[in-house]
Amino acid sequence: MTRLFNDPAAFADEALEGFAAAHRRWVRPVTGGVVRATATPAGQVAVVIGGGSGHYPAFSGLVGRGLAHGAAVGNVFASPSAEQIRSVARAAHGGAGVLLMYGNYAGDVLHFGQAAERLAADGIETRTFAVADDISSAAPHESAERRGIAGDLPVFKAAAAAAEQGLALDDVLRVAERAGARTRSFGIAFSGCTLPGADHPLFTVPEARMAVGLGIHGEPGIGEEPLPTADGAALLLVDTLLEELPEDVDEPAGQRAAVILNGLGSVKYEELFVVYRKVAALLDEAGVEIVDPEVGELVTSFDMAGVSLTLTWLDEDLAELWRAPADTPAFRKGALDAPVPDAREPLDDHAADTAVPAASEPSRHAAVTVLAALEAVAAIVGTHVDELGRIDAVAGDGDHGIGMQRGSAAARTAAARAQALGAGAGTVLAHAADAWADRAGGTSGALWGTVLRSLGTALGDQDAPDASRVAAGVTEASAAVRRLGGAEVGDKTMVDVLVPFADTLADAVAGGLALTEAWDRAATAATEAAAATAGLLPRKGRARPHAEKSLGTPDAGAHSLALITRAVYGALLDGPHDDHALDDRPHEDHLHDHH
């Protein structure tokens, strides 16, 4: 278990701060992560990688010459936000464009995609690539759905080495695509990991058994088998990977492969070497030439006891890129000339923007209630943070509670700051949306940012927000979340609650009910819909490979949304606590209803 921490919610930030302080030779901190200590050479493509904390040396430990130019680092097991990624990419950009690379998880796909759009708007040509190497997470015909695990390293390495050679952005992307298509990984685990502040692991494995097909976010395996000997584990790993070769590899005999035996956190190096001796022998028997193998901790999952094997099948170009020198805090190969000292000044990426758009008096009064609602949201999430994590851990990674806590607290703080500056309801919600997405990261961070921004756009800063505007904003939020996340009703996600909540609210408002009464009716529908998700099997996200495990347990995102809708009802019912705002309440159909 993780024993040394302060505030669990601050663990990722404090770990990154300590990492940067310990490795000034290689990296310097920027908002959202780290970049190389030396500037990206002019005209060289910048490869920016990223993902959640809890996987060291991925992702920050892979920043340095010959590998990544920067790494965006999110909360524990949660993707970095789009703004974090954008900040790191801008700091790493050398004038020839940016390739964003990450593991294939829903939150990472959302945030890196949004970051690419923002970078393009900044005038920085950007491409994205998701590594999808874990063969246990989807069948071969669904390979695009596979998650990225230890195969991240050889794919990142290939792209970064190609960038070092001076290839153009689209050529670097093609190298990443080829390396990804030729990379396969498979893993086993003997115990789950325990997140900072938690008193139990995310999953357990019975005595004398092992989990097969684990994930690196503490997800349980897709099955269990008797605990093997070291040689038995090696045989399982090798045989499983040799059963699925890339499309352009006919048979293993005569092929070359980069081989990575990866420890997931608490398997000791000596144990890994015992396993690797058999891995090497089995690959040799199959006629595979091993090229520069790596044995050690390269992509971890806190203290998970487990190992994974990765094979990247090499052609001439990929072999050259794999063998190319690299010098990072956690991965070194070959030799590089001494770096040229970098005299860059720190980026001014913390500049505070204290200006808010002009707002009407009714909208500023409505902002008081918006802030009260966000305070209620943060309070209800804080009360249920452990419960949300426990529900999420049944078939996922257990980070939903802490992610929601970070996001809602940041949203409340940002909203309070904007409201104190005289912002209207729309701007208060917009500031809250950006803060939630930025601090929470992950899929839920992106989706909650979308919810708040959609509602803020509907309310605006000029008119007094009436019930119909609120209902329209919630309806747009429902549509936007489905567009962004790709989920629909029945997939066992927050959409199963958001859609009936939005529909019920719109119908009640259209029927003439005041906002508080309409919201009460919609919150009841949300609560019922959240409970009903216990009978669904997940078809999206990290829980999908473990669908049966979640049967009988509601979806964590659905449950948290239902709790939030009820908490907001309480804030609407109580009205603002600001005496001036109470004196000047809008009409009954507006955001503050009379009772």
Q: What is the 3-state secondary structure (H, E, C) of 329-396?
A: CCCEECCCCCCCCCCCCCCCCCCCCCCCCCCCHHHHHHHHHHHHHHHHHHHHHHHHHHHHHHHHHCCC
> Average pLDDT, stretch 477-498?
93
Q: Does the residue 162 lie in any domain? A: no
State the pLDDT at residue 200: 82
Q: From CA 162, how far away is CA 319, in angstroms rounded?
A: 12
Q: What is the dihedral of CA 90, 94, 99, 100, to 10 degrees?
A: -30
State the pLDDT at residue 521: 97
Nearest of 3, 113, 99, 108 to residue 45 by alpha carbon: 99
For helices 495-510 and 467-485, the axis angle rounded to 10 degrees is 160
Q: Does the residue 144 lie in any domain? A: no
State the pLDDT at residue 369: 95
H helix runs in 460-578, sequence order: 467-485, 495-510, 515-532, 556-574
Phi-psi region of 33 (alpha: psi -120 to 50; beta: other; left: phi over 0): left
Q: Does the residue 301 lie in any domain? A: yes
Domains identified in the chain, total number? 3
Query: Does residue 112 share a domain with residue 23?
Result: yes
Query: Does residue 308 share a domain with residue 373?
Result: no
Strand order in the sheet with 223-226: 223-226, 209-212, 183-191, 305-314, 256-263, 289-296
- Write the CATH number for 33: 3.40.50.10440
Share of the chain above pLDDT 90, in %: 74
pLDDT higher than 50, residue 566: yes
Looking at 91, 113, 131, which one is the last position of a domain? 131
Query: Does residue 368 share a domain with residue 318?
Result: no
- For residue 586, the tally of other CB atoms under 10 A from its CB is 21
pLDDT higher than 90, residue 215: no
Q: Is residue 253 exposed (0-12), middle (13-18) or buried (19+ Cβ within 10 Å)?
A: exposed
State the pLDDT at residue 115: 95
> Average pLDDT, stretch 144-159?
95
- Write the CATH number for 277: 3.30.1180.20
pLDDT higher than 90, residue 56: yes
Straight-line distance from the first to the last Cα atom of the chain, in angstroms, rounded to the nearest whole number? 51
Range of 468's domain? 361-583
Q: Does the residue 175 lie in any domain? A: no
Query: Does residue 280 share a domain with residue 366?
Result: no
Contact between 91 and 35 under an 8 Å Cβ cutoff? The reply is yes
pLDDT higher than 70, residue 304: yes
Confidence of residue 354 (pLDDT cuts 50, 70, 90): low
Q: Does the residue 438 lie in any domain? A: yes
Confidence of residue 351 (pLDDT cuts 50, 70, 90): very low
- Write the CATH number for 503: 1.25.40.340
Nearest of 510, 504, 509, 515 to residue 592 by alpha carbon: 515
Query: Does residue 483 share a domain with residue 403?
Result: yes
Q: Which residues have a catalytic role annotated?
A: 217
Q: From CA 272, how far away is CA 449, in angstroms rounded?
A: 42
Query: Does residue 369 share a domain with residue 317?
Result: no
Paired residues of 28 in beta bridges = 35
State the pLDDT at residue 341: 56
Contact between 196 and 11 under an 8 Å Cβ cutoff? The reply is yes
State the pLDDT at residue 384: 96
Query: Does residue 557 share a domain with residue 492?
Result: yes
What pLDDT, in 10s, does the model give residues 105-125? 988 999 999 999 999 999 999
Confidence of residue 128 (pLDDT cuts 50, 70, 90): very high
Query: Does residue 499 share a domain with residue 372?
Result: yes
Query: Does residue 366 share a domain with residue 248?
Result: no
> Average pLDDT, stretch 252-268?
96
Q: Does the residue 496 lie in any domain? A: yes
State the pLDDT at residue 295: 98
Query: Does residue 567 share a domain with residue 478?
Result: yes
Looking at 322, 348, 381, which one is the last position of a domain? 322
Q: Locate tokens 């499309």: which residue?
A: 247
Q: Does the residue 223 lie in any domain? A: yes
State the pLDDT at residue 35: 98
pLDDT higher than 90, residue 2: no
Query: Does residue 185 share a domain with residue 110?
Result: no
Q: Does the residue 17 lie in any domain? A: yes
Q: From CA 405, how far away is CA 474, in angstroms rounded?
A: 22
> DSSP class of residue 28?
E
Whole-angstrom Cα Rg for the chain = 25
Query: Does residue 509 share a domain with residue 373?
Result: yes
Cβ neighbours of residue 21 closer than 8 Å, sequence gap 6 or more: none
pLDDT higher than 80, residue 1: no
The per-residue DSSP string of 292-318 comes to EEEEE-SS--TTBEEEEEEEEEE-HHH
pLDDT higher than 90, residue 181: yes
pLDDT higher than 70, residue 360: yes
